[in-house]
């Protein structure tokens, strides 16, 4: 934690990395993906904007020995729309990929609608949101 991914080195007393999980900067996705497979973790999982995982990028992971094991689609209100969590597992058979989704609009703390509170404690007044 708190270290630049590109400066990270596996400690000599550690055999390998088990999982890489992140929401990487979109401007350098390919560089992040390349370094991720160089570390050879068992699992690589990234949260990306919808459409960021292109067929060319999926082929890159396949060529590196990783199969797509799951896609989870969701929406985070503050972002530009739908997002997907892609999980690749080393040696995984793509035919067993799980695709899941939710219909929840996830909001960051600053993006939550303001809620009007009832006038009197315990009153049964409908609460309105923006």
Asked if residue 105 has pLDDT above 50, the reply is yes
Asked if residue 25 has pLDDT above 50, the reply is yes
Q: How far is CA 63 from CA 30, 56, 87, 108, in A?
A: 14, 10, 15, 36
DSSP H/E element including 29: helix 29-39
Contacts 24+ apart (CB under 8 A), 5-11: 5/32, 5/35, 6/31, 6/35, 10/39
Supply the mean pLDDT for the chain: 80
Asked if residue 102 has pLDDT above 90, the reply is no
Q: Is 99 a member of any domain?
A: yes
Query: Residues 41-64: pLDDT tens digits?
Result: 999 999 998 889 999 999 999 999
Asked if residue 125 has pLDDT above 60, the reply is no
Q: Is 123 a member of any domain?
A: no
Q: Is 121 a member of any domain?
A: no
pLDDT at 100: 82
Q: Is 129 a member of any domain?
A: no
């Amino acid at each position: 934690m708190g270290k630049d991914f590109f400066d990270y080195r596996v400690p000599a007393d550690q055999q390998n990395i088990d999982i890489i999980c992140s929401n990487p900067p979109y401007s350098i996705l390919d560089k992040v993906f390349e370094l991720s497979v160089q570390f050879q973790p068992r699992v690589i999982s990234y949260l990306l904007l919808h459409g960021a995982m292109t067929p060319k990028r999926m082929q890159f992971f396949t060529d590196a020995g990783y199969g797509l094991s799951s896609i989870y689609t969701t929406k985070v209100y503050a972002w530009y729309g739908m997002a997907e969590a892609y999980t690749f597992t080393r040696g995984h058979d793509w035919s067993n990929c799980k695709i899941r989704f939710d219909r929840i609009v996830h909001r960051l703390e600053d993006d939550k609608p303001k809620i009007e509170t009832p006038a009197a404690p315990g009153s049964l007044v409908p609460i309105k949101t923006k």
